[in-house]
């Protein structure tokens, strides 16, 4: 039996938007919380990958995310049996450097000798045993004061990744990083692949927290004060820790590579060769699903006829996607948007998001399902003066006590039982029953049962925006 190494604190970065996987990944619900590969979300897979094994011991995670995703993070961790640990809420996205510094300072308050492993929450690493072996190998370097980065042995001349130049092409446990290289063109990528001493930059790091704080003091001192103040002035909110927004606003928007890694003289790389993908584009999703002999990958509700090298995905069980005679095509169908693209344009999908945003098209950033701490809702029909929603409420959850200036609502329970408050009246509404909420009435919906509750909501009125809500009481502390 291999002896278990000392405990490591996982740090999960879960605030990104993943625009290259539009329309499945959007700002309001990005790819890390979706089930792109396998039965669990990418975020859940990342957290489970950093659970203790026979060779590596991990503590409870620290997760960096934003306020919109805080309940999603907690729910997804709890649903796979992981203690959510500390969930730090970033007031605004400032890239990876301030986030990693905040996690390091936070961990040091709990343990002055804490070792952190920082990982994006949207990567795929199939061989967890091999991954843990490399982590264990790197602890010696970490304990000697090194900052360790994980470099992936390249398998092709990839233009979608950055590269690390290391001092030799062997498989030494730790190799000095000589320089970082931005995403190359195809010819340059082939040169790097042929050279043998270049690795893909995975953006995964391991270090002692105080070594990282020292590196910031040396190379990015302008970040130390605002991040430290943001932690010191931060507040606990329903089990989450909100970094102070005023202090945080003084942080420069900068990646950890630019702020620290490209300047540090104690950076070494661990070579990992057992399979990895950042799912940074639909072409990567296609490759990860192991295409058949014709290069075809389809989802459950998609069909390919006489096609070659295609990815066809339908994300709705009521929408069948069929491709006929296609070649080198990506087609992803959502209930409110469809992407059709040449496979070779996969890295340019983010341009679509920019174009849609310029045209003020809702689908650029807004997901069909709006996830809330109590569950989710989706709009089925929306016209000028009416809207129809399907609302899913988790067991034991409750919407806020609220009223509306401009709309009335009619609720029809189609699954489970709802406890409904309308002004001074409280009643149970069971499957098949309905209740009317007049304009201005103070109301609340709760699920008192042990199973999910689903209802159809019909709104009518002159204005149907989500900002027409006056909240009087909310168990989730929303304004």
Residue 121: both structure tokens together: 């929450």
pLDDT in tens, 290-341: 999 999 999 999 999 999 999 999 998 889 999 999 999 999 999 999 999 9
Whether the CB-CB separation of 116 and 7 falls below 8 Å is answered with: no
Q: How far is C-alpha 367 from the geometric centre of its chain's CA atoms? A: 14
Distance in angstroms (rounded) separating the CA atoms of residues 256 and 270: 18
Please state the φ and ψ torsions of residue 276, each to the nearest 5 degrees: -165, 145
Distance in angstroms (rounded) separating the CA atoms of residues 137 and 140: 7
What is the arithmetic mean of pLDDT over 430-455?
96
Q: Which domains, and CATH codes, for the chain?
A: 7-272 (3.90.550.10), 282-348 (no CATH), 369-473 (2.60.120.10)
Distance in angstroms (rounded) separating the CA atoms of residues 291 and 1: 38
Residue 228: both structure tokens together: 């430290």
Residue 395 has pLDDT above 70, yes or no: yes
Residue 407: both structure tokens together: 């709309």
pLDDT in tens, 31-56: 999 999 989 999 999 999 999 887 89
pTM of the model: 0.88
pLDDT in tens, 247-258: 999 999 999 999
User: What does the angle CA 259 – CA 264 – CA 267 come to, to the nearest 5 degrees?
Assistant: 120
Residue 324: both structure tokens together: 């006929």
DSSP structural state of residue 124: B
Task: Band the pLDDT of 479: cuts 50, 70, 90.
Answer: low
């Amino acid at each position: 039996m291999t002896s278990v190494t000392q405990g490591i604190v996982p740090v999960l970065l879960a605030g990104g938007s993943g625009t290259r996987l539009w329309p499945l990944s959007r700002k309001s619900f990005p790819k890390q919380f979706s089930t792109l590969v396998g039965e669990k979300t990418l975020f859940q897979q990342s957290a489970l990958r950093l659970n203790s094994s026979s060779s590596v011991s991990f503590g409870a995670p620290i997760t960096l995310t934003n306020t919109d995703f805080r309940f999603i993070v907690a729910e997804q961790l709890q649903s796979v049996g992981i203690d959510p640990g500390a969930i730090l809420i970033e007031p605004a996205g400032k890239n990876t450097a301030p986030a990693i510094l905040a996690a390091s300072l936070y961990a040091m308050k709990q343990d002055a000798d804490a070792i952190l492993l920082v990982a994006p929450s949207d990567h795929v690493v199939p061989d967890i045993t091999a991954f843990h072996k490399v982590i264990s190998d790197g602890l010696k370097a970490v304990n000697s004061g090194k900052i360790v980065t994980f470099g992936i042995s390249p398998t092709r001349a990839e233009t979608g990744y950055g590269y690390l130049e290391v001092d030799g092409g062997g498989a030494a446990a730790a190799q000095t990083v000589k320089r970082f290289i931005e995403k190359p063109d195809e010819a340059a990528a082939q040169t790097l692949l042929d050279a043998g001493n270049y690795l893909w930059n995975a953006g995964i790091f391991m270090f002692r927290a105080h070594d990282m704080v020292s590196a910031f003091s040396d190379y990015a001192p302008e970040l130390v004060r605002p991040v430290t103040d943001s932690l010191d002035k931060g507040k606990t909110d329903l089990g989450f820790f909100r970094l102070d927004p005023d202090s945080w606003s003084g942080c420069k928007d900068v990646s950890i590579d630019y702020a620290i890694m490209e300047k540090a003289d104690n950076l070494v790389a661990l070579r990992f060769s057992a399979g990895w993908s950042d799912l940074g584009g639909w072409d990567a999703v296609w490759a990860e699903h192991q295409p058949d002999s014709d290069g075809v990958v389809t989802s459950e509700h998609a069909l390919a006829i006489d096609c070659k090298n295609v990815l066809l995905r339908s994300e709705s069980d009521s929408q069948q996607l069929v491709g006929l005679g296609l070649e080198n095509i990506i087609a992803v169908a959502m209930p409110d948007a469809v992407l059709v693209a040449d496979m070779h344009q996969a890295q340019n999908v983010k341009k679509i998001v920019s174009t849609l945003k310029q045209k003020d098209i809702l689908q650029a950033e807004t997901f069909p399902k709006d996830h809330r701490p109590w569950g989710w809702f989706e709009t089925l029909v929306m016209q000028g003066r009416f809207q129809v929603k399907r609302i899913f409420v988790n067991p034991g959850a409750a919407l806020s006590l609220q009223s509306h200036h401009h709309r009335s609502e009619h609720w029809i329970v189609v699954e489970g039982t709802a406890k409904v408050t309308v002004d001074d009246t409280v009643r149970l509404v069971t499957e098949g029953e309905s209740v009317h909420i007049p304009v201005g009435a103070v109301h609340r919906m709760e699920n008192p049962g042990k199973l999910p509750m689903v209802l159809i909501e019909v709104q009518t009125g002159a204005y149907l925006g989500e900002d027409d809500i006056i909240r009087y009481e909310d168990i989730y502390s929303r304004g």
